[in-house]
Amino acid sequence: MKYIGEFCIIILISFIGEALNYFIPLPIPGSVYGLAIMLFCLCTKIIKLDNIKTTAKFIIEIMPLMFIPAGVGLITSYLDLQPIILEVTVIVIITTILVMAVTGVVCQLLTKKNGEINE
């Protein structure tokens, strides 16, 4: 039952993010709203990390499965992408490097600020 409760908390936050996306006409995905709400709730201790930690770790472990539909979508739309494949490839490479660099810098800053991260 612990896992179901933890999963319900995560789904509820995701639902609230999607609802905000529906009602606020900004070009921000609902998942980003959900992540911001979850961060706020964790930082303010509204939701304690122990209340979602086990299920969150499981979801992160199976995250590669979530990329399968996107990969299949790219394969099925290859003919549409073929005229701009070079531009798309360059954009993907540049944005991947940028995301990795920014993530690394943010992690280093947070680690220095909070001390060593405990698992």
> What's the number of domains the chain is made of?
2
Alpha helices in 24-67 (DSSP H): 30-43, 53-61
Q: Which of 32, 61, 90 is the last residue of a domain?
A: 61
With tokens 């209340």, the residue in question is 51
Same domain, 77 and 41: no
Radius of gyration from C-alpha coordinates of the chain:
18
pTM: 0.66
Q: Which domain holds residue 48?
A: 1-61
41 shares a domain with 89: no
Question: Quick one: DSSP state of residue 25?
Answer: -
Mean pLDDT, the chain, whole residue set: 91
Residue-wise pLDDT tens digits, 30-54: 999 999 999 999 999 999 999 999 9
Please give the structure tokens belonging to residue 33: 């709203």
